Amino acid sequence: MSGNMNLTLKVWKQKNKDAKGALETYQVKGISPDMSFLEMFDVLNEQLITEGKDPIAFDHDCREGICGMCSMYINGRPHGPVKGVTTCQLHMRSFKDGDTIVVEPWRSAAFPVVKDLAVNRSAFDRVIAAGGFVSVNTGNAKDANNILINKDDADDAFNAAACIGCGACVATCKNGSAMLFVSAKVSQLALLPQGQIEKEARVLNMVNQMDEEGFGACSVTGACEIECPKGISLENIARMNREFIGANATKK
């Protein structure tokens, strides 16, 4: 088919967490502009397997932009050059025939490389476990809409809850800071009446866990907000700062 592309890929290869990695160069031919970036990697991996070589390890799951697994740093940006998408929703039409594309894993002390492009993001899980929950009584389910919630707060909570925990914010931040992620997870609960019981402990514990995992501090460059595939706003970080100041001021 005409319009298909030949590309040069420079991909990070690293055997395991402790091994020293390096960029390796690959050629792919006849790539359709309609393919997703991950499908292009499938083509490359099939080619590598046929040649008897080690395929490239990369994370992916839903391939419809909602799970947050695909974590590639493409030409210096998380999820590549298109705004508001994950790698699976990035299509090869965003590139030109003959392009050289550099693909690296997320770089963060808190996200150790498992193999090649796959990193371990369980630091995020531990941050969630530290306080990203609400306590409810067991028993019959309550009537929906039993508790009235201000429309603006409900909207803000929904927008914060859109975070898929992909880690693009950490990957792009010059400080490797997880502030956008943690603040979204603090905000989605702090904005709602159901989240008030653990309000103070939540922000203190989640910030504490965030620091312990080795994420950096916020320099307010705003890079995270631009690169977030779900458009999580910096307003959440300001809200977490307020929550943190308030919790420190009122804690017993």
| Chain residues that interact with another protein, rule: CB under 8 A | 10, 12, 23, 73, 75-77, 81, 102, 104, 107-110, 172, 174-177, 204, 207-208, 210-211, 214-223, 226-227, 234-235, 237-242, 244-245, 248, 251
211, burial (CB in 10 Å: exposed 0-12, middle 13-18, buried 19+)? middle
User: Which residue is associated with the tokens 């210096």?
Assistant: 76
Residue 143 C-beta: closest distance to another protein, Å:
33
Nearer to another protein, 193 or 222 (CB): 222
- CB nearer another protein, residue 32 or residue 99: 99
> Least distance (Å) from another protein to the CB of residue 152?
11
Least separation in angstroms between residue 77's CB and another protein is 5
Give the separation between CA 142 and CA 207, rounded to whole angstroms.
Answer: 31
Beta carbons of 177 and 221 less than 8 angstroms apart: no
Nearer to another protein, 92 or 223 (CB): 223
Please calculate the CA angle 110-116-117 and round it to the nearest 5 degrees.
65
Strands across the sheet containing 73-74: 22-31, 5-13, 100-104, 73-74, 77-78
CB of 61 to another protein, least distance (A): 24
Residue 156: HSE in the Cβ half-sphere, 13 Å Cα cutoff: 18
CB of 69 to another protein, least distance (A): 20
| Closer residue to another protein (CB): 30 or 214 | 214
Instruction: Using the minimum distance from each CB to another protein, give the nearer residue, 36 or 177.
Output: 177
φ/ψ bin of 245: left (φ > 0), alpha (ψ from -120 to 50), beta (otherwise): alpha
